[in-house]
């Protein structure tokens, strides 16, 4: 008897749950947008505030924001897209936009240009940066460029002038060795070992008139280039201008684990929009500097690139609403004030102008850096081909093999070119 009653109870409970879930949509808003991005807590706070603002101005729209760290972000996005459960608004990176657009995961936005998306005052090169095979798939959330984060306080202690836009690699190597030799801090070196930092390698290649990838997705440098790169860093390692390899290998290539943030080196290599985050976790005063030059007259190593995009999912129910949200994010003056330059320098000329007067010192330094690159900046390279992520891993792996002395620079150059060519051929 008891058995029967409990079973009935269970059934009743289940029915109640079912009816409740059936009721839920009746209470729901008319439209719901899920927004997914990667980044720090500071970014989440800003983004959530803007989402709140959008909801206030658009009755009947509910926005659900989720955020993750960079390395967790991509597996999560891939599984959600595969499970037909993609977020409506996807923060997208220059490295992945081709992969996602080609696979039909993103909605083309061309139809909304001029109507919902008013990006006429954007830098047109940056608009093109969000295009794949002639269609627009991503709206840039800000421009940035590769940059050197420098611990100004440590330079001052060692009595050494900060590098300038015309500092060469030879000079930088000497400066690095001098800081190490000054020995003002324990276990402290001049530079991070940047041999595995792809944007830095790319910058160096571009100054030589080469690139990472060609427009048709092939490798754009040869074994000699790579060997020379590894040899340059090998020399710095020997001169103690940069950190030893086991310290460098602690670097997971994010703000928190870079040798600069760990207090092991006076300079690390990153992207300009990360300056806010770097200064946030470093007590010493930092400075933002361009990458060293291969010779006094070298130029064109840097480029302004979209730091990240907002893309609209191909699975979204209402792509127009998605486009409207993206437009709000990049154009609304109040939103711009909240967001600042945390995602890079805004692309809209109007927004940029309005923002300039409200920026704090950090934001201004970043704005000045990106807009003041001048001849140091060249054209935006084509979006990286599929396999680019793996190619970056390969660079890191080979750079470590050279760093730990398993390969010499020449073998390293050959191995790298071999591996990257194979990866790109596989796609």
- Could you tell me if 107 and 101 are in contact, meaning their C-beta atoms sit under 8 angstroms apart? no
Side-chain half-sphere of 344: how many Cα atoms within 13 Å? 25
CB of 160 to other proteins, least distance (A): 24
- Could you tell me if 423 and 387 are in contact, meaning their C-beta atoms sit under 8 angstroms apart? yes
- Beta-sheet pairing, 31-38 with 89-92: parallel
Kindly report the three-state secondary structure assignment for every residue of 152-205. HHHHHHCCCCCCCCCCEHHHHHHHHHHHHHHCCCCCCECECCHHHCHHHHHHHH
CB of 154 to other proteins, least distance (A): 17
CB of 400 to other proteins, least distance (A): 5
State which residue, 30 or 72, has the beta carbon closest to other proteins: 72
CB of 262 to other proteins, least distance (A): 9
Enumerate binding residues for other proteins (CB under 8 A): 71, 74-75, 78-79, 81-82, 99-100, 103-105, 187, 245-250, 252, 257, 264, 387, 389-390, 393, 396-397, 400-401, 404, 406
Q: Which two tokens stand for residue 252?
A: 């997971």
CB of 79 to other proteins, least distance (A): 7
State which residue, 41 or 393, has the beta carbon closest to other proteins: 393
State which residue, 55 or 74, has the beta carbon closest to other proteins: 74
State which residue, 105 or 260, has the beta carbon closest to other proteins: 105
Tell which residue, 173, 259, 238, 221, has the closest CA to residue 413.
Answer: 221
CB of 147 to other proteins, least distance (A): 22
Cα separation, 187 vs 171, whole angstroms: 22
State which residue, 264 or 352, has the beta carbon closest to other proteins: 264
CB of 150 to other proteins, least distance (A): 22
- Could you tell me if 141 and 329 are in contact, meaning their C-beta atoms sit under 8 angstroms apart? yes
State which residue, 99 or 123, has the beta carbon closest to other proteins: 99
State which residue, 86 or 366, has the beta carbon closest to other proteins: 86
CB of 387 to other proteins, least distance (A): 8
- CA-CA distances (angstroms) from residue 125 to 93, 108, 303, 370, 388? 16, 18, 11, 15, 21
Q: What share of residues in the chain are helix, strand, coil (percent, to 5)?
A: 50, 15, 35
- Could you tell me if 401 and 226 are in contact, meaning their C-beta atoms sit under 8 angstroms apart? no
Residue 159 falls in which region: left (phi positive, over 0), alpha (psi -120 to 50) or beta? left
State which residue, 79 or 358, has the beta carbon closest to other proteins: 79
Cα separation, 381 vs 305, whole angstroms: 9
């Amino acid at each position: 008897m008891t058995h029967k009653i409990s079973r009935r109870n269970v059934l009743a409970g289940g029915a109640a749950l079912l009816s409740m879930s059936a009721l839920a949509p009746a209470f729901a808003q008319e439209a719901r947008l899920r927004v997914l991005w990667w980044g720090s807590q500071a970014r989440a706070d800003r983004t959530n505030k803007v989402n709140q603002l959008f909801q206030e101005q658009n009755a009947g729209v509910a926005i659900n924001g989720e955020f993750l760290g960079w390395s967790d972000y991509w597996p999560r996005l891939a599984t959600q897209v595969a499970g037909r459960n993609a977020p409506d608004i996807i923060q997208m990176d220059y490295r992945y936009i081709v992969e996602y657009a080609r696979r039909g995961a993103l909605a083309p936005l061309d139809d909304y240009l001029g109507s919902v998306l008013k990006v006429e005052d954007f830098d047109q090169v940056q608009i093109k940066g969000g295009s794949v095979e002639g269609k627009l798939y991503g709206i840039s959330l800000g421009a940035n460029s590769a940059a050197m984060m420098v611990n100004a306080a440590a330079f001052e202690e060692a009595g050494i002038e900060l590098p300038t836009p015309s500092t060469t690699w030879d000079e930088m190597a000497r400066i690095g060795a001098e800081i190490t030799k000054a020995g003002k801090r324990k276990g402290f070196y001049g530079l991070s070992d940047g041999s595995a930092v792809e944007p830095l390698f790319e910058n160096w290649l571009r100054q030589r008139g080469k690139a990472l990838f060609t427009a048709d997705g092939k490798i754009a440098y040869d074994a000699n280039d790579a060997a020379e790169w590894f040899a340059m860093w090998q020399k710095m390692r020997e001169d103690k201008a940069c950190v030893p390899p086991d310290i460098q290998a602690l670097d997971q290539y994010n703000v928190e684990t870079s040798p600069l943030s760990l207090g092991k080196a006076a300079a690390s290599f990153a992207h300009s929009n990360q300056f806010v985050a770097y200064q946030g976790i470093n007590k010493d005063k930092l400075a933002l500097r361009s990458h060293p030059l291969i010779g006094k007259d070298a130029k064109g190593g840097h480029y302004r690139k979209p730091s990240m995009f907002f893309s609209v999912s191909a699975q979204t129910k209402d792509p127009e609403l998605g486009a409207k949200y993206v437009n709000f994010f990049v154009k609304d003056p109040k939103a711009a004030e909240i967001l600042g330059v945390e995602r890079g320098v805004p692309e809209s000329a109007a927004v940029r102008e309005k923002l300039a007067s409200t920026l704090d010192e950090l934001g201004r330094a970043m704005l000045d850096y990106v807009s003041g690159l001048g001849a140091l900046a060249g054209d935006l390279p084509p979006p990286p081909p599929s396999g680019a992520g793996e190619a970056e891993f390969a660079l890191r792996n080979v750079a470590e093999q050279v760093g730990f002395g398993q390969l010499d620079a020449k073998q390293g150059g050959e191995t790298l070119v071999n591996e990257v060519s194979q990866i790109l051929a596989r796609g």
